[in-house]
Amino acid sequence: MRSGFRSSRTEFFRGEWLDTAGLNWTPDMVVPVKPDEIEEFDPPREMNWPDFADSMIIHHSVHHYRPRIWKNIRLALYSKPNESREEFLERCHEREVWERVLQREELRDVFLRRVIELKAAMMKMVSEEKSVDTHRDRRLATVRRLFSDLAQEWDRLPLQDDEPMVRESTDDAGTDRDLHEMVESFCADLRYRFGRIQVEVRPRGEDLEPYDVPVNHSQVEIISRGFLWS
């Protein structure tokens, strides 16, 4: 259930004969047998299949048979039947890309609300400054221009794993340096958080280890029985 593993397999094996119902096979008492090594014909004498033999087969399968697959526990992913390690690794990387896109979309939504709040706060701050109208109007125009530039940088933020856009610093802040610093601090925080998403997620894709799928009693079906002799 945890791994989501779905596979039907038919296995042939030979177990040593045990006359006592309370005994079970140890792993060294069971040998795999290839189907093409078996030839069917009438037994040399009459034989009866013991009732407890089915329980021995099921007990052995549940305790000693484990289909082996791959797992990435940090991504909560398990490989599919017959999926190679390389194929599973590629699927883990695709999952990482998808997770990074989702995280960046969520981050953009959060910062969009912060952009709106910051712009409103800065416009209110400048509007309430005690200065001549021309000075206040110029600073309001600076706020609008800074957020126009921010919108352009916003559009350049990569949702996929593209190279990040480097924002060139400007030295034309002049008397409005305080406004520039407020917006630049916001941009630096935005770029940092975008970069951290890739750094924090990427190492998880290659964290693979083998996983033995447990088998339950209800998952074992005996479809053929027989006596072997040579």
- Tell me the per-residue pLDDT of 175-201, one tens digit each, with 9 for 90 and over: 788 899 999 888 888 888 877 876 665
Contact present, 211 and 91 (Cβ < 8 Å): no
DSSP one-letter code for 45? S
Give the pLDDT score at 166: 44
Give the pLDDT score at 200: 66
pLDDT mean across residues, the chain: 81
Helices then strands, counting H and E runs in the chain, come out as 4, 5
- Tell me the per-residue pLDDT of 88-137, one tens digit each, with 9 for 90 and over: 988 988 888 888 888 888 888 888 888 899 999 999 999 988 888 888 89
Domain ranges in the chain?
13-67+213-219, 98-206
Helix (H, G, I), strand (E, B) or coil at 205: helix
Q: What phi-psi label fits residue 4: left (phi over 0), alpha (psi between -120 and 50 degrees) or beta?
A: left
- Tell me the per-residue pLDDT of 72-85, one tens digit each, with 9 for 90 and over: 888 888 998 888 99
Q: What share of the chain is helix, strand, coil (3-state, %, to 5)?
A: 55, 5, 40
